[in-house]
Chain A
Amino acid sequence: MGQETTTTVSSTRRDEILARIRAALRHKQRSAEDEAELERRLRSAPRGPHPQLHDALLDQFVAKAEANHFTVERVASLQMLVPAVQRLLAEAEAPPDISVAGSLASLGWPQDWTINTGPARMVEAMSVTMAVAGVAETGSVILRSDAKNPTTLNFLPDTHVIVLRASDVVAYLEDAWAQVPGESGDWPRTVNVISGPSRTADVGGVLVRPAHGPKAAHIVLVGE
């Protein structure tokens, strides 16, 4: 009942605000041509100017990612992922209890490891996630949420491992958005464009890593 009243008030207010906007723009109603033009623009989504890439796609991606304080390693195939994570876990001196994206869960993790495929836990040493794209322009990885990819894997662990196929690296951010819907064709609840580990400079202007998110972020770049 209370919610209904709020909705009623809100929709009246909605009409009032829209009316004020139209008055401010000095039109009562847009012409059909103008409307069509706006729809066209939405569909075509024109791009603005972008910086030039300095290097070949993958080389730039790796260079930029490293400048963003990712560590990057290249492996020939996904078979190499488990050994890579084993090594990272040993380096981090963390217990073998990690969260893994559903799509990576059946890669042959060691039997004595605890592999959590649900959302990340409050205390989380390491997560292994699957990116849908990498962006050479900025050295970023793109991750999306769905049944196999909980968003919390990207933010709660101390070390965040991101698996990225080299063939999924694109040049510019605009290209990356196109990768997001993927096979399912749907737009997800969350798209994370991640460009390095967590940091802040809010105390005395001194850069501190991490703030709330991961301390370290590691990209495993798979294939060519």
Chain B
Amino acid sequence: MTAATQDFHARASEALDDSGFQKSISTLKTGFVAARARAVGALPEYEEMREAGRAIKDHTLANLDFYLERFEAEVTRQGGHVHWAADADEACQIVRDICKRVGAKTVTKGKSMVSEEIGLNQVLEADGLEVLETDAGEYIVQLAKELPSHIVMPTIHKSTEAIADLFYEHHRNQGFDKRADNPAELIGQVRTILRKKYFEADVGITGANFLIAQTGSSVIVTNEGNGDLTSTLAPVHIVTASIEKVVPTLADATTLLRLLVRSALGMEITSYTTVSTGPRRPGDLDGPEEYHVVLVDNGRTKMLAGAFRPMLRCIRCAACMNHCPVYLSVGGHPYGWVYPGPMGAVLTPMIAGHERARELPHACTLNGRCQQVCPVKIPLPDLLRRLRHEQWENHFINAKTRWGVGLWSWLARKPALYHAVTRAAIGVLGWLGHPRGSFRQLPLAGGWTAGRDMPAPQGTTFHAAWAKRQQRP
């Protein structure tokens, strides 16, 4: 799916004015944020674990070729297949080809952010396949034809009311002719509808929280059990995973799992943690006959090469966005793509290109809370500033900003001139402002004064006052 982040301002405004949305998004603070704080607070080993997680990821990234080759060898040894895709188109083509070969008509999907990144559903639907998201949240946004607004809780932006309306519209012809309005009933409808589909599916596609080089396995964590039904019942199981998902061993994955579930949900472990390795074995009573892993590059090797390598540590916990005051104000949709919040503000330009993500690195105060809560210590503010630097170097910054910053910088290099000019300007502003103490309006400062007064300066600059004081005998 192509990124559409040029609308950040407009969508952010909409979100700020939408009281229903504001109510929904505020649940993140009382929910995930509070739960994570409790879970981390209850774990004296947390900082040690965080450092261990960072070290595992950095070690793996520094030896990524070795571990991917080992992963491939193990998958193959266990009877599975590994495919390599340079970009979104290639990844989709690989999946299309498998589906075509097996004559697939119905595809079930466990949650996979990378499959949304590559736009897989649209491609398969264009081939005439029925594609069903099985994670309840993804199922809902699929029905609503919306992007998920959060990578762990896709429906954080939707009220129960809105979901009830949606289901009433779409489930009426599937035997649910009375409008259900409570969460238990609504989820019950999803359970019933999808239960059949798991059995009908010709292909089941899941993501992977981790790929294990040691055993040639993919690991998923869910609370619903949907990923397991997807990967077990269909005759073909395809895993879509980006290349940085590989870790050396199950022990390494265990360390990262301890961090992931606490950071994402404030829990110690999800209901289901599943390790899948190859197709069913001879004698097995169920399980797929084919197991495929599609390894997706799509910008990862580019990140690996330079200053953005730490971004590849990301384990998709969403703690950064849960704690980001900008995300908490406007939600995920203004970010325009599948990855919102701080991690999305880095990944979107790196994967989809600077042109599609001009606003994102700037829609940030660099306050650093994201880095503080990141379980693998990604220096997100530094990376966002680095993106601003790259935009500047590549002339993506608009002329007004370049001119403004350029003028400031020029003046800052001429202290004597600067102090003279500012003394005069501040003198005027101070005189104009001091009766009231602040300005309701100020030319060139509309962005500030639209919502705030500008406190009046004190009528002189510090340097002018200091110089005057030094002159006294």
Contact = CB atoms under 8 A, between A and B. Distances in A.
Asked whether the complex places CB atoms of A and B closer than 8 A, the reply is yes
A55 B269 CA distance: 19
**Of residues A23, A47, A147, A188, which shows the largest number of chain B Cβ atoms within 10 Å of its Cβ?**
A188
A212 B229 contact: yes
A193 B269 contact: yes
**Of residues A35, A120, A156, A186, which shows the largest number of chain B Cβ atoms within 10 Å of its Cβ?**
A156
Contacts of A120: 286
Contact of B191 (A14, A206, A212): A212
A33 interface: no
A182 interface: no
B251 A206 contact: no
Contact of B285 (A41, A118, A177, A191): A118
A206 B66 CA distance: 44
Contact of B251 (A18, A48, A186, A213): A48
Given A155-B228, A203-B136, A195 B273 contact: yes
Contacts of B78: 187
Interface string A50-77: 1110000000000000001000000000
A198 B271 contact: yes
Interface size class of B (residues with CB under 8 A): 35 or more
**Of residues B199, B225, B248, B258, which shows the largest number of chain A Cβ atoms within 10 Å of its Cβ?**
B225
Contact of B271 (A17, A23, A195): A195
Contact of A147 (B140, B195, B284): B284
Interface in B244-284: 248-252, 254-255, 257-258, 268-281, 283-284
A193 B210 CA distance: 15
B154 A202 contact: yes
Interface size class of A (residues with CB under 8 A): 35 or more
A42 B69 CA distance: 13
B186 to A, nearest CB: 5
Nearest to B93: A6
Contact of A17 (B24, B250, B297): B297
B286 A200 contact: no
**Of residues B86, B183, B215, B252, which shows the largest number of chain A Cβ atoms within 10 Å of its Cβ?**
B183
A205 B62 CA distance: 39
A188 B196 CA distance: 26
A48 B59 CA distance: 14
A200 B281 contact: no
A147 B280 CA distance: 10
A156 B191 CA distance: 11
B393 interface: no
B137 interface: yes
**Of residues B154, B159, B194, B223, which shows the largest number of chain A Cβ atoms within 10 Å of its Cβ?**
B223
A154 B156 CA distance: 29
A146 B225 contact: no
Interface string A63-101: 000001000000000000000000000000000000000
- Interface pairs A-B: 10 shortest CB-CB: A213-B225, A48-B255, A211-B224, A204-B160, A24-B305, A147-B283, A202-B137, A150-B285, A119-B286, A203-B183
25 contacts: A3-B97, A17-B295, A17-B297, A21-B65, A21-B243, A23-B305, A38-B66, A42-B214, A49-B255, A138-B269, A145-B287, A187-B215, A187-B277, A189-B280, A189-B287, A195-B272, A202-B137, A203-B155, A203-B160, A204-B183, A205-B156, A206-B183, A211-B225, A211-B226, A213-B224
